[in-house]
C-alpha cells in the first residue's frame, strides 16, 4: 500500500485484496462506502480535540430559530457530526419507514434498512448522554405481492441492541384507531388479514437506567377504579399466588400508570400547521405522527430545558412538542418544503395564541368477537392465494 499526501487531502492506494476486504467490512458495519469507513477509522484514532475540530469544520447554520429551538435544512449525518459527545437528552424520531411504495421524502428498502440506519445509530450513541433516551417510532412493512410482513423493524432493534450496545428500556405500541383497513388487497378484498393499525415504538438507552418518571404521564382513573377507592378491594389470595390486602388499590396517586399501548387516532384536520400549509399553498407532510406521541416521551424522559433532537424531523412535530413543554430542541430535515410548512407550527397566529396540547379521545378496545354461524362458509384451501369470482363480485 502506498500513500501520496497533498494539501487538504490524502490519496490512499490499496491492493485489490485489501480493497475487497475493506468493502466487505464496510458493508457489514453499515457504512455506505469504503471512503466513509476509512474516514471514520481515521477520526476515531485522533485525540478528542482533533475529532471536535474535524466535526466543527462543517459550518452548518440553522435556517429557523425560536427561543428554544433550531431547524436545520441538511442531511442529518452532517449536522449530527457537529454535535458534542454526550450532549443530547432525548432523540425522538420517526425515520422513513421501509415501505413498498416509495415516498417523496425518501425511504430505504426493507432489505437495506439496517445498513442504511447504521451510520445514524453510531452518531446517536456518541451524542446521547448516559442518562438520555433514544425513541424510534417505526411502522411495519409488507412483502411485495404477498400477505406476509417483513421484520425489518425487529432486525433494526436487534442490531441496535446486539451490535450497537443500546439497551431496550421498553417497547411501546401506538394504536391508531382511525387507520384505514390496509393493505386493501389482503384486508378488504381477499379478507385473509385484519387491519394493520399498530406501530412499534422502541425506547432505547445507553445504560439500563436512563432518567424517566411515569408520574408525569399518569392517565385519569377509570370509573371502576374510582369505585374501588370508595368501596375497597376484595381481600385474599388470587389464582396468581398474590395476596391482596384490604387496603390494596385504595390509595389515590393522582392517576393511573399508563400501559405501553398508546391509543391515539391520527385524525388532525384543522391544526395551525394545516391551516398554515393551506394558506401558503405548501404540501403537508404525508407521514406525520400526532404531536401527543413525542409530547408523551418528552414529558416522561426529560426535564425542563433538556435538549431534544429529531434527525428526521419532517414537519417539525417533535419541535412543536418540545417548544410547548419548555425543552430546547433541534430538528433536521432534508426536504425544505416540509420545513417551510412546519414553521407554521410556531408562526401561524393560532399557534401563537394557543399553546395547549390537543385533547385525545378515549377508546374502548372491543374484545374478540366470534361468529360461529359463519362456520358453514369454508376457509379457502389455498389461504386466499387466488382471487375468487365471489370475492371480486362482493367487493366491486
Catalytic residues: 94-95, 137
The CA-atom distances, in angstroms, between 112 and each of 54, 103, 108 are: 29, 16, 7
Q: What is the C-alpha to C-alpha distance for residues 79 and 135, in angstroms, rounded to an integer? A: 19
- Which of 199, 355, 186, 203 has the alpha carbon at shortest distance from 287? 199
Q: How far, in Å, CA of 69 to CA of 319, rounded? A: 7
Q: Which residues pair with 142 in a beta bridge?
A: 149
Burial of 357 (0-12, 13-18, 19+ CB in 10 A): middle
β-sheet bridge partners, residue 90: 133, 308
Half-sphere exposure of 296 (CA within 13 A, CB side): 26
Give the list of residues 6+ apart from residue 387 with CB closer than 8 angstroms, or none: 189, 190
**330 neighbors 309 (Cβ within 8 angstroms):** yes
What sign has the CA pseudo-torsion 255, 256, 259, 263? negative
Residue indicated by cell numbers 490519496: 11
Establish whether the linkage from the previous residue to 183 is cis, with ω within 30° of 0: yes
Provide the pairing of β-strand 167-175 with 261-263.
Answer: parallel
Helix axes 48-56, 34-44, angle to 10 degrees: 130
DSSP state string for 19-84: HHHHHHHHHHTT-SSHHHHHHHHHHHTS-HHHHHHHHHTS----SEE-SSEEEEES-HHHHHTTSP
Task: Count how many Cα atoms sit within 13 Å of the Cα of residue 85 in the half-sphere of its side chain.
Answer: 10
Amino acid at each position: 500500500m502506498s500513500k501520496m499526501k497533498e494539501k487538504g487531502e490524502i490519496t490512499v492506494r490499496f491492493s485489490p485484496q485489501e480493497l475487497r476486504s475493506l468493502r466487505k467490512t464496510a458493508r457489514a458495519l453499515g457504512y455506505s462506502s469504503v471512503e466513509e469507513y476509512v474516514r471514520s477509522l481515521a477520526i476515531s484514532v485522533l485525540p478528542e480535540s482533533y475529532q471536535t475540530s474535524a466535526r466543527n469544520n462543517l459550518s452548518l447554520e440553522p435556517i429557523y430559530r425560536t427561543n428554544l429551538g433550531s431547524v436545520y435544512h441538511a442531511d442529518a449525518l452532517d449536522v449530527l457530526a457537529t454535535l458534542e459527545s454526550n450532549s443530547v437528552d432525548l432523540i425522538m424520531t420517526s425515520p422513513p419507514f421501509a415501505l413498498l411504495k416509495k415516498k417523496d421524502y425518501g425511504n430505504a428498502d426493507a432489505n437495506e434498512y439496517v445498513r442504511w440506519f447504521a451510520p445514524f445509530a453510531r452518531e446517536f450513541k456518541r451524542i446521547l448522554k448516559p442518562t438520555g433516551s433514544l425513541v424510534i417510532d417505526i411502522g411495519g412493512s409488507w412483502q411485495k405481492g404477498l400477505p406476509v410482513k417483513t421484520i425489518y423493524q425487529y432486525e433494526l432493534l436487534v442490531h441496535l441492541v446486539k451490535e450497537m450496545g443500546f439497551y431496550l428500556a421498553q417497547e411501546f405500541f401506538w394504536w391508531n384507531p382511525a387507520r384505514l383497513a390496509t393493505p386493501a388487497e389482503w384486508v378488504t378484498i381477499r379478507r385473509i388479514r385484519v387491519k394493520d393499525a399498530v406501530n412499534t415504538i422502541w425506547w432505547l438507552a445507553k445504560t439500563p437506567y436512563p432518567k424517566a418518571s411515569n408520574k408525569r404521564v399518569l392517565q385519569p382513573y377509570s370509573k371502576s377504579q374510582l369505585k374501588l377507592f370508595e368501596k375497597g378491594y376484595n381481600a385474599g389470595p388470587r389464582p396468581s399466588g398474590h395476596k391482596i390486602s384490604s387496603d390494596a388499590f385504595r390509595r389515590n396517586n393522582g392517576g393511573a400508570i399508563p400501559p405501553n399501548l398508546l391509543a391515539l387516532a391520527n385524525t388532525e384536520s384543522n391544526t395551525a400547521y394545516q391551516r398554515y400549509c393551506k394558506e401558503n399553498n405548501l404540501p403537508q407532510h404525508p407521514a406525520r405522527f400526532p404531536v401527543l406521541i413525542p409530547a408523551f416521551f418528552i414529558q416522561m424522559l426529560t426535564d425542563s430545558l433538556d435538549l431534544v433532537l429529531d434527525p428526521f424531523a419532517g414537519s417539525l412535530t417533535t419541535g412543536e412538542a418540545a417548544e410547548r413543554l419548555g425543552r430546547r430542541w433541534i430538528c433536521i430535515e432534508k426536504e425544505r418544503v416540509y420545513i417551510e410548512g412546519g414553521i407554521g407550527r410556531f408562526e401561524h397566529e393560532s399557534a401563537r395564541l394557543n399553546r395547549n396540547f390537543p385533547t385525545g379521545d378515549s377508546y374502548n378496545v372491543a374484545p374478540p368477537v366470534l361468529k360461529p354461524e359463519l362456520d358453514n362458509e369454508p376457509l379457502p384451501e389455498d389461504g386466499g392465494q387466488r382471487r375468487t369470482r365471489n370475492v371480486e363480485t362482493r367487493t366491486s
